[in-house]
Structures are given as structure tokens and as C-alpha cells.
Structure 1
Amino acid sequence: MSNKARWLAIGGAAVVGVALMSSQQTGALWSQTQTLNPGVISSGTLDLAVGGVGVSDYAFEALGKEGLGAGGYAQAPLSVYNSGDVVMKYRLQDAAQSNPGVALDLTVSVVDSEPACPAEGDPAGATVVYDGPLIGAQAPADPEWRTVEPGASEVLCVRGTVGEDAEQDASTTATFTFAAESR
């Protein structure tokens, strides 16, 4: 064999050796397993009702009052029902007025029963969850929620008070929007 052929054979063997070594070094095999506890997925019906079971659009006429001046108020109970079969989280998400010139303050309290929220006077055993301007009211404030079990209800005592800067001889209506989630 000639020297040239020997050097080619040695060079070829070196290339093959390097190729084999590099493929062995990068050919690692990784394996790992982990057992996880399976989660539980359940379904149910989420149904928020206000004023009565199964009612989703409620005219809250008990809160209306005519002839109020600055500092005067209207107060009435509002029942929030969980008509569904899952635990419900809810809150008063927003409040708006048809005439913002009639400045109203809003107080929302949780009471034990509708009679605990009289038309006149302070509500009995009340827990205040909101006290501030009616426009943009949230009770309780985000990210908090109230909780009601399936088939149960909670009574809110809602008071609208006319502000000192309210337009005279004007009227307004209020719209309350509620949000609900299952827990």
C-alpha cells in the first residue's frame, strides 16, 4: 500500500471515529414520569334572581319615592336568590342613573330579613357593604363577592339619598346590574 493510501485510510478512520463519538455524546435519552391526582369537573346551573325566584329583570318600584329634597331618601329591601343548584358568588356590579343631575348616594346593607329594612329609619342588624355615589356603585367592591347557597337568598337593604347639589324639580331612575359566578 502506498503512503498516500495509508494516510487516506488513517484520515478516513479518524473522521469515522470522530463522527461515532459525537453521535454517542449527543444521543442521550431522557425519560421521566409523574403521576398526578385527577381533578374533578362538575357542572350545574347558575341562576341569579332578584326580587323573586326566577326573576332576572326586576322593576324595583319599592325604592321609588316622589317629592324628595336634599337629604331625603327612599329605602327598600331587595332579595337576591340563588335559583340554581351550585354555590353562587354575586355582587352589585354597577349602578347608573337616567339623570345624573339628581345626585344620589347609595347605601347597600345586608340584613337578616325584609322586615329588617323598613321604609323609614335605619335597618336592623345591618352590615354595610357599600356607601357612596350611586353612579358606578359596586357592592362589595371588586374583587370581593357575596356568597349564596343553592336555593337560598340574601336580603339587601338599599337606600338612595338625594345629594345636596341635586337639581330641583327633576327626576331620575336607577338601574342596578348584578354579576354572578359559581364558586
Structure 2
Amino acid sequence: MSNKTRWLAIGGAAVVGVALLSAQQTGALWTQSQTLDAGTIHSGTLDLSVGGSGISTYPFTALAGANMMPGGYAQAPVKVFNSGNVLMKYKLLSGIQSNSAVPLDLTLSTVVNEAACPATGNPTAPTQLYSGALVGSTFAERSVQPGAAEVLCLRATVGAAAQPGQSTTATFTFSAQSR
């Protein structure tokens, strides 16, 4: 055998050896494992109600107003009940209007009871959750214990750009979950 052939054979064996070692090292990366602590799963009933215990659809007519001018407002309380038996986390996802010709501003606060949100005047000791355009309104997640309620005070104020002879309705979408 010539020297050239021997060097080619030795070089080829070296390349095959490096390839085998490389494959073994790569294979080791795929054999990892990790132990996790066992989790806890809680079950229960989650039930968001508004207006009264057990009510899931609530026509909120108390926020209606007639013949309102720009700057005029309607204000009313609404109770959010946790009718279930687990801690409820809820939030306002959005507010929408049926007619943009009557722009409304929304001020949304929590109050201690329904009497603290009178039809006229300022709410008593409010904790403001949102202030701005009704369209796109939202607030951060709130907690309500099982069987308990939270009172929201909503004030819708007619914007300066409202067109005369128009009307609108507002729709609020809430979400609720337990953790």
C-alpha cells in the first residue's frame, strides 16, 4: 500500500471517529429530565350576577336619560354579585355604544352601597376604576368573595360633540374567572 493511500485511510478513519463522537454528544442533549412539585386543582362554581343574586342578564335602565344636553349626565349603581362558592375575579372588558353621534364619557367607581351612588350629585367616598370615553372603557381585575357583592357607580356624561335629536345605548361586557 502506498503512503498516499495510508494517509487517506487514516484521514478517513479520523473523520468517521469525529462524526461518531459528535453524534454521541448531541444525543446527550436530548436526555434531560426535571421533577416538578405536584399542583393543586380547586373546583367550585363560578357565577357572576348583576343587579341581584342569580341574575345573569340585567337590563340596566337606571342609567337612561331623556332630553339631555352636552354636559348632562345619568348616574346609577349596579351590584356585582359572586353567586358562586369560589373567589371570583372579574373585570370590565369593554364598553360600546349604538350611536357615535352621542359620545358619552364614563366615570366608573366602587362605592360602599347603592345609596352612595345617588342619581344626582357626586358619589360618596368613591374609588375610581375608570374615567374616559365610554367606548373602549375597561378596568383592572377585581376580587369578590363567594356570596358577596361589590357596588359599582356608573356615570355617563353627554359629550360636547353630541348631535341634537339623537339617542344611544351602551353595552358593557364583563368577564369573570376563579383562581
Shorter chain as denominator, the TM-score bin is 0.7 to 0.9
Paired position in structure 1 for 2:106: 106
Paired position in structure 2 for 1:75: 75
Paired position in structure 2 for 1:166: 162
C-alpha separation in 1, matches of 2:56 and 2:93 = 14
C-alpha separation in 2, matches of 1:152 and 1:160 = 26
The unaligned stretches of length 5 or more in structure 2 are: 1-19
1:38–1:124 distance in 2 versus 1, CA, 3 Å = same
Paired position in structure 1 for 2:175: 179
Shift of 1:91: 0.9
Mapped pair 1:151 → 2:153: no
Shift of 1:52: 1.0
Paired position in structure 1 for 2:115: 115
Paired position in structure 2 for 1:4: none
1:39–1:102 distance in 2 versus 1, CA, 3 Å = same
Alignment of 1:4-153 (within 5 A): 36-138=36-138, 140=139, 144-153=140-149
C-alpha RMSD of the superposition: 2.4
TM-score norm. by structure 2 comes to: 0.80
C-alpha separation in 2, matches of 1:35 and 1:165 = 62
C-alpha separation in 1, matches of 2:52 and 2:175 = 17
TM-score norm. by structure 1 comes to: 0.79
C-alpha separation in 1, matches of 2:120 and 2:178 = 35
C-alpha separation in 2, matches of 1:33 and 1:145 = 37
Shift of 1:85: 1.0
Identity %: 55
User: How many equivalent residue pairs?
Assistant: 158
Shift of 1:35: 5.7
> Deviations along 1:15-42, whole A, 9 cap, x unmatched?
xxxxxxx9xxx6xxx9998764321111
> Deviations along 1:85-109, whole A, 9 cap, x unmatched?
1111111111111111101000000
Secondary structure of the corresponding residue to residue 62 of structure 2: helix
Q: Which runs of 4+ in 1 moved over 6 A?
A: 30-34
